Amino acid sequence: MRVGVMVISAIASIALVSCASKTEQRPDWIGGSINQSGSYLAGIGSGASQEIAADRARNDLAKIVGVTIEGFERSKTSNSAEGYDSAFSSAVNTRVSQTLSGVTIAERYYDEKNELYYALAVLDRAKAAQALTMELSQKELSMDELLNEAHEEKDALDRLRLLNEASKFAAERREIAALLNAIGDIPRPIFSGVEKDIISLKRAALRSIKFSINGDYEGKRLLAEAISAAGFTQTAQSKSDYEAVGYFKNSLRSENGWQWAVAKLETEIVDFRDGATRHIFTFEAEESSQDKQTAQDRAFKKLQNQLADNLLNAVLTGRK
């Protein structure tokens, strides 16, 4: 596959869009000699069929936009506490692919000698930026509404739930802003003032929620680690708002010379104000090894990681 990305002029793009079928002569864009401008982006792909060539052209375009975003954002966030992490990079690249799914295949060419199809994918920067700007505004509106609701909410867990939802919209807004910075004319701040307020309030809300821990030995140990990792405060039962109760179960089976261990934690979240159970959920992890103890240790470690990653959502929604 020949890969190349370039910016094409408005005049060239109009001509290309007008002939989206196969051309008779080998076009200049296969050699990369397309006039450059800031109005359009283009990607080139080739393959054994028109569909493969078109998909590779879109992927080519998505790849260069993603690289542009990463370079721009790394330069902006290198001294930032938030930084440019791999999770953000992956999310942005996913959104790039979604945004470019409707890119125009402006021209196709079939090389009979080499039995190879070529395709040119074109993105109109202005149209894409307009659509993304509208989406950005919608995310910002949702963030504002949830933040206002959180300010008025009296229940600590419900306030945290609202801030958690606002954080999800904020993450999506960051992805859109990063993409706009790559294809639009007006730079957008990655972290808005509202998002910084959400982050600050969410951390404070987490710390304000006090958990006591009950259950069996391993259950309490697992919950203590997960509650600390999530950002909650652990305290004595007499001072807590909620109680996390955990009961650990471990099972083992043999199969074809391998030992399979299952580690399970059954958990309840109890509200001390009225004694009601807010949520009941179960975490479970399975691992294998030819050694019994290794299998059990791996399952236990996997369960720890699950708890650290998902306890907050489970506490807020009752779902892992």
pLDDT of residue 250: 92
**Structure-model confidence comparison of residues 193 and 78, the more confident one:** 193
74 and 111 belong to one structural domain: yes
Reduced to 3 states (helix: H, G, I; strand: E, B; else coil), residue 70 is helix
CA distance 201 to 141: 18
Task: Return the CATH number at 87.
Answer: 3.10.28.20
Same domain, 187 and 238: no
Same domain membership, residue 307 and residue 219: yes
One domain, residues 109 and 33: yes
CATH of the domain at 272: 3.40.50.10610
pLDDT digits (tens, 9 = 90+) for 80-91: 434 445 555 555
Per-residue pLDDT tens over the stretch 129-174: 888 899 999 999 999 999 999 999 988 888 998 999 999 999 889 8
Q: Which of 189, 207, 225 is the last residue of a domain?
A: 207
Domain of residue 238: give its range.
209-317
Query: Could you tell me which residues come within 8 angstroms of residue 47 by beta carbon, excluding any fewer than 6 positions away?
Result: 1, 53, 55, 56, 116, 117
User: What is the CA angle 316-317-320, rounded to 5?
Assistant: 105
Last residue of a domain, one of 84, 100, 124: 124
Q: Is 92 in the same domain as 162?
A: no
For residue 246, count CB atoms less than 10 angstroms from its CB and return exposed for 0-12, middle for 13-18, buried for 19 or more: buried
Closest CA to 120 of 57, 74, 64, 63: 57
Q: pLDDT tens, 175-193?
A: 888 888 878 777 788 888 8
Total number of domains constituting the chain: 3
- Kindly state whether residues 26 and 106 are assigned to the same domain: yes
Give residue 46's pLDDT: 92
Last residue of a domain, one of 74, 109, 124: 124
Cβ atoms of residues 105 and 55 within 8 Å = no
Judgement on whether residues 252 and 273 belong to the same structural domain of the protein: yes
238-287 confidence digits (pLDDT tens): 888 889 999 999 999 999 999 999 999 999 988 887 788 878 889 999 99
